[in-house]
Every structure is written in C-alpha cells, then in structure tokens.
C-alpha cells in the first residue's frame, strides 16, 4: 500500500471491531500450559539503556506472569549485572553500548545469536533514541526466524522498512500507542488518535503483522482484516512503563503457544483487567506499572479456570 500524505486517512472499513469480553476469550481458549518451563517457550527481551533498564524488567516479569517459560533479558552492559539481581528468574545478556549508554548496531550480532533458540523475541522496551534503534534493528530483524514482537519506539524500524517483517510469514506483533502508530504510517498524530481503529487496520495490512494499538481503548487488527476492541483499563494505565508490561504479556502468551492474533487480543484484555483490579485496590490513579504483573495471574486464572 503506497504512503498517503500526512493528514489524510485510510478508507473506513465497514466492519466494526468486535468487542472483547470474558465470554469471547473463554470461547477462544489459550493453549494448555505445559508441565515445565521448556514446554512454555523461551523468551528473549531486548531493550533498555543504562538509564532505562527497568522497562526490560517490567516486560520480562509480565511475560513470566502469564505463563512464559524461560526468560532471557538483553540490555546495556553497564546495567546488566544489576538487572540480573533484580530479576533472578532470568538469564541476562550484557550488550555492548555506546558512550551514551544506548544499544547500537554493534550489539546486533549478539542479539541475533541469542535469538537462535528462542520461541519469541521482544524488541523495544526502554529503547529511547529512534535512530539508534533503527540502526540496530536493521542488522537484527532480517536475520530472525522466530516470532517477533516490535514494541514502542522499535516501531521506527517499520517506519523505514514497512515490509521488514514479511519474511516472518505472519509470526509478528506490533504493540504501539497512537503516536507511535502515526509515525509508522507517516500520518498526522491527531488524525490517528481520532480514528485509531481504521489506522490500526491499515498498519496491519501494510506491515503484515498483527497490530495492537493501546490508548483509552485498545484496538487490534490482523493483516486479514479481523478487528477487535478492548474497553478495559481506565486512566490509571496511562502511566510510565505500562506499555512495557503489555508488550511482555503478549510475548509471554506467544511463548506458551498462542497465535499472534490471540496473544494480542488476550494480552490487551489482561492488561486492561489488571489495571481495573488495581484501580479498585489502590485507586483509579496512582498505581504503578510495576504493580501490574502481580495482578495478572489472578485475572488469567479467572478466565481459564
């Protein structure tokens, strides 16, 4: 699909997104969890910097909380040892970083090597500089042959390489907010925020990935044209680190065997419901992203029990 001029929008799709409910998810059950960590998939989370390694922690913990099996975190060398102590359930891979503490292209070979035996790779949590991310991922993504989740600022790779996930043949999910989605589509951010559903669908068609666009409502679309909306969560989810948790949830569900569309739909709903639980126990505003992963097992148990 050719690029359109900023400020113009896609042709509205006549099909309204399906609203996601607990009943819908119970009729679309997740794959049964295996009996050990190997059967629930190996996960690699790549991201962070010397200033933002916490995002990798949030994503990794969320992936484990929804049933992911074995976790490996890859981040800037300067903070890797601290992250290994903070997340004792994970193996931590220290990556070379520049003088500014950002992951850059020289780290690509180590990332590709670590991804060789994992079920899912999550790229993006805590990355902060689009050009550095682009240079790294252009040397990483074309060499991956597994399921891939592209999160947040890592979507800069798709802004420059709209077909960059096609070689994965549908094994990919893009998790973004409306501003990030606007950059992927080269659209006006206000237009995307006003009509996120058709733009989410357009991004799925353009990239060949399942797209999850978060915000006050969450929209999910597949390249085949399927669409869902999740109306759960509330304003408290608009907090630093919340998107990292959501990306980790999707990654963990993929690792335990969910297909990309199912992982995105379930992940969006679980994230929203975890926020609603904390809104009751803590308050509608003021709960922290670090509190979300702990709420996930209970929400998941209610849906799968």
pLDDT tens sequence for the chain (305 residues): 334 444 344 444 557 899 999 999 999 999 987 655 566 789 999 999 999 999 999 999 999 999 998 999 999 999 999 999 999 999 999 998 778 999 999 999 999 999 999 999 999 999 999 999 999 999 999 999 999 999 999 999 999 999 999 999 999 999 999 999 999 999 999 999 999 999 999 999 999 999 999 988 999 999 999 999 999 988 999 999 999 999 999 999 999 999 999 999 999 999 999 999 999 999 999 999 999 999 999 999 999 97
Cβ–Cβ under 8 Å, residues 218 and 272 = yes
Number of H helices, E strands in the chain: 12, 10
Of 171, 179, 139, which Cα lies nearest the Cα of 155?
179
pLDDT given at position 37:
55
pLDDT given at position 40:
77
Rounded Cα distance, 265 and 211, in Å: 10
CA angle 183, 217, 184 (to 5 degrees): 10
Cβ–Cβ under 8 Å, residues 244 and 127 = no
The full set of domains in the chain, from first to last, is 37-304 (3.40.1190.20)
Cβ–Cβ under 8 Å, residues 185 and 215 = no
pLDDT given at position 7:
39
Rounded Cα distance, 245 and 264, in Å: 13
Rounded Cα distance, 1 and 205, in Å: 8
Rounded Cα distance, 113 and 186, in Å: 32
Cβ–Cβ under 8 Å, residues 238 and 29 = no
Cβ–Cβ under 8 Å, residues 230 and 218 = yes
User: Three-state DSSP class for 123?
Assistant: strand
Cβ–Cβ under 8 Å, residues 294 and 64 = no
Residue 196, number of CB atoms within 10 A of its CB: 24
Cβ–Cβ under 8 Å, residues 31 and 255 = no
Query: Residue 229 forms beta bridges with which residues?
Result: 19, 219
What is the reported pTM? Answer: 0.93
Of 272, 280, 270, which Cα lies nearest the Cα of 300?
270
Cβ–Cβ under 8 Å, residues 270 and 249 = yes
Of 33, 66, 37, 35, which Cα lies nearest the Cα of 298?
66
Rounded Cα distance, 153 and 129, in Å: 8
pLDDT given at position 10:
46
Listed in sequence order, the residues at least 6 apart from 85 whose beta carbon sits closer than 8 Å to its beta carbon are none
Burial of 164 (0-12, 13-18, 19+ CB in 10 A): buried
């Amino acid at each position: 699909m050719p690029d359109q001029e900023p400020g113009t929008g896609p042709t509205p799709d006549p099909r309204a997104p399906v609203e996601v409910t607990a009943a819908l998810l119970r009729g679309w059950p997740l794959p049964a969890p295996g009996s050990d960590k190997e059967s629930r998939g190996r996960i690699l989370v790549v991201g962070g910097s010397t200033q933002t390694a916490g995002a990798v922690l949030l994503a990794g913990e969320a992936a484990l909380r929804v049933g992911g099996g074995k976790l490996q975190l890859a981040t800037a060398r300067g903070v890797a040892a601290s992250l290994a102590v903070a997340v004792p359930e994970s193996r931590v891979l220290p990556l070379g970083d520049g003088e500014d503490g950002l992951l850059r292209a020289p780290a690509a070979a180590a990332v590709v090597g670590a991804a060789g035996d994992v079920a899912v790779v999550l790229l993006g949590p805590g990355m902060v500089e689009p050009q550095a991310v682009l240079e790294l991922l252009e040397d990483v993504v074309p060499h991956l042959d597994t399921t891939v989740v592209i999160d947040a600022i890592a979507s800069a790779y798709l802004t420059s390489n709209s077909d960059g996930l096609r070689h994965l043949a549908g094994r990919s999910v893009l998790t973004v907010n409306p501003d990030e989605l606007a950059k992927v589509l080269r659209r006006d951010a206000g237009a995307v925020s006003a009509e996120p559903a058709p733009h989410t669908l357009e991004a799925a068609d353009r990239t060949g990935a399942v797209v999850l666009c978060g915000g006050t409502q969450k929209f999910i679309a597949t390249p085949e044209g399927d669409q869902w909306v999740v109306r759960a969560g509330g304003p408290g989810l608009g907090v630093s680190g919340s998107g990292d948790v959501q990306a980790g949830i999707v990654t963990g569900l993929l690792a335990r065997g969910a297909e990309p569309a199912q992982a995105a739909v379930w992940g969006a709903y679980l994230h929203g419901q975890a926020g609603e639980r904390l809104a009751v126990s803590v308050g509608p505003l003021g709960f922290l992203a670090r509190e979300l992963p702990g709420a996930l097992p209970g929400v998941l148990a209610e849906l799968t029990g």
